[in-house]
Amino acid sequence: MKAITLQEFVAFQRLMHESAGIYLSENKRSLVTGRLARRLHACGAQSYGEYYRLLTSGQLPAELQTAVDLLTTNETFFFREPKHFEFLRAQVEARHRAGGAFRVWSAATSSGEEAFSIAMVLEEMLPGRWWVVGSDISARMLAKARDARYAMDRLSNFPHRYLRRFCLKGVGARSGLLRVEWPLRERVEFRRINLNQPLPPIGTFDMVFLRNVLIYFNADTKREVVMRVAAALKPGGHLLIGHSETLSGITDALEPLAPAVYRKPA
């Protein structure tokens, strides 16, 4: 099979921007090659250009979703960036006496580790008084999130008390896996949401985790995405982004509180 040409890579750049709002920089050529090579073989395509034409012909909508899934999947793990979970705890503690449910949106949840990490903190502090929405553009990742099974060798930041309280350990053929228990899973809703499009009716939130996502968008798309997410925040609510990201020059609708933490004015 031929290597991907510059012209073919540019075509996939355009496709990903139109489908997901994501900009694939030039250094992502090897990622596109590696992640799509097997799909070319599965579809009988002899080149990346031929595979691109299949995707854009309208004949294989499921294959287009598969390609988008493969090119938008990012590594994630439980309790990533622990300071954000410390901040979540502090905010829950500050509002504990206010009553009502605490709602959090994990806006790029991938395979669900972030959403369930949030859920465990909330259930420990506000039993039964919280809801979490986890969303992603990848249908494949959302299926994994709903299944809620994870390899136990990827739990370096996972508090042991949460393992005992919220997870079941796999046995037999499922040895080496854990599964998040149903009472926690039933309060976490997973939905396919494209942040580059108008949001569906999902309500408003006390906190939104939008971490390690904006780095994949160009400046105009960042502004549009942040505008939509900010509209879904309650007054006084907080937006958390990745530590390598910033909203400087993107919006003045949110106040910076700390690195990667912003607040919507009350």
Q: Mean pLDDT, to the nearest integer, of 176-187?
A: 96
Q: Which of 41, 72, 103 is the last residue of a domain?
A: 72
Q: Mean pLDDT, to the nearest integer, of 133-160?
A: 91
Residue 1 located in a structural domain? no
* Confidence at residue 100, expressed as pLDDT on a 0 to 100 scale: 78
| pLDDT greater than 70 at residue 162 | yes
What domain count does the chain have? 2
User: Residue length, the chain?
Assistant: 266
Q: Which of 46, 72, 98 is the last residue of a domain?
A: 72
Q: Tokens 């496709």 identify what position?
A: 15
User: Which pLDDT band holds residue 142 (cuts at 50, 70, 90)?
Assistant: very high
Q: What is the domain range of residue 49?
A: 6-72
* Confidence at residue 62, expressed as pLDDT on a 0 to 100 scale: 85
User: Which pLDDT band holds residue 1 (cuts at 50, 70, 90)?
Assistant: low
* Beta pairing, strands 102-106 & 261-263: unpaired
* Confidence at residue 218, expressed as pLDDT on a 0 to 100 scale: 86
User: Are residue 58 and residue 110 in the same domain, yes or no?
Assistant: no
User: Are residue 88 and residue 53 in the same domain, yes or no?
Assistant: no
**Residue 76: burial class (beta carbons within 10 Å; 0-12, 13-18, 19+):** buried
Residue 188 located in a structural domain? yes
* Confidence at residue 59, expressed as pLDDT on a 0 to 100 scale: 81
User: Which pLDDT band holds residue 73 (cuts at 50, 70, 90)?
Assistant: low
Rg (CA), the chain: 20
User: Are residue 141 and residue 216 in the same domain, yes or no?
Assistant: yes
Catalytic option among 136, 185, 206, 211: 136
User: Are residue 249 and residue 182 in the same domain, yes or no?
Assistant: yes
Residue 211 located in a structural domain? yes
Higher pLDDT, 155 or 236: 236
DSSP-assigned states of every residue in the chain? -PPPPHHHHHHHHHHHHHHH-----GGGHHHHHHHHHHHHHHHT-SSHHHHHHHHHTSS-HHHHHHHHHHHH-----TT-SHHHHHHHHHHHHHHGGG-S-EEEEETT-TTTHHHHHHHHHHHHHSTT-EEEEEEES-HHHHHHHHHTEEEGGG-TT--HHHHHHHEEE--GGGTTEEEE-HHHHTTEEEEE--TTSPPPS---EEEEEETT-GGGS-HHHHHHHHHHHHHTEEEEEEEEE-TT---TTT-SSSEEEETTEEE---
pLDDT tens digit string along 194-253?
A: 998 999 999 999 999 999 889 888 889 999 999 999 999 999 999 999 988 999 999 999
CB 190 within 8 A of CB 180: no
Structure tokens at 81: 């960036």
User: Are residue 52 and residue 162 in the same domain, yes or no?
Assistant: no
Higher pLDDT, 97 or 80: 80
Find residue 239's DSSP bridge partners. Answer: 208, 262
Q: Mean pLDDT, to the nearest integer, of 147-155?
A: 90
| 35 classed as catalytic | yes
* Confidence at residue 97, expressed as pLDDT on a 0 to 100 scale: 59
* Confidence at residue 70, expressed as pLDDT on a 0 to 100 scale: 84
Q: Cβ atoms within 10 A of the Cβ of 27, count?
A: 7
pLDDT tens digit string along 5-56?
A: 999 999 998 888 887 777 888 888 888 898 899 899 899 899 999 999 999 9
| pLDDT greater than 80 at residue 124 | yes
* Confidence at residue 235, expressed as pLDDT on a 0 to 100 scale: 95
User: Which pLDDT band holds residue 96 (cuts at 50, 70, 90)?
Assistant: low
Residue 67 CB contacts under 8 Å (≥ 6 apart), including other chains:
15, 36, 39, 55
Find residue 161's DSSP bridge partners. Answer: none
Catalytic option among 35, 95, 140, 228: 35
Q: Mean pLDDT, to the nearest integer, of 262-266?
A: 95
Q: What is the pTM of this model?
A: 0.85
* Confidence at residue 51, expressed as pLDDT on a 0 to 100 scale: 93
∠ Cα 220 141 18 (to 5°): 30
Mean pLDDT is highest, among 3-7, 62-66, 128-132, 213-217, for: 128-132
The fraction of the chain above a pLDDT of 90, given in percent, is 63
